Amino acid sequence: MILVNAWAVARDPNYWEDPTSFKPERFLDMKIRNQATHYEFLPFGTGLRMCPGSNMAFKNIQMLVGSLLHFFDWSLPNGVDPTTIDMNEKYLTTLHKAEPVLLIPKSRD
């Protein structure tokens, strides 16, 4: 059995500028034609063994995040400086934040 260390690939400076920094904007202007050549999608697999639900998963994530942003205003607890939030990750079987981030949702009635 051959296993690919997706965690290490996602932090490879040969493919990523500043790989340990949280920069979601790096994906905003991506035009993906062939998922097999783009390492940012490695967790979904490639070729014949690619996850058959990856397209549905992407659409569901877009809908969920869009709905959360549309219906709620988000803030940090009082006194929390955004520049002090620990954005490090902890890799076990799945990827988790090393320290949880607490956000407070407020409905946009």
| Residues annotated in a binding site for heme | 51
**Is residue 40 within 8 Å of 70, Cβ to Cβ?**
no
Local structure of 21: helix, strand or coil: coil
Residue list for the binding site: 51
**Is residue 38 within 8 Å of 32, Cβ to Cβ?**
yes
CA atoms within 13 A of residue 108's CA, in its CB half-sphere = 9
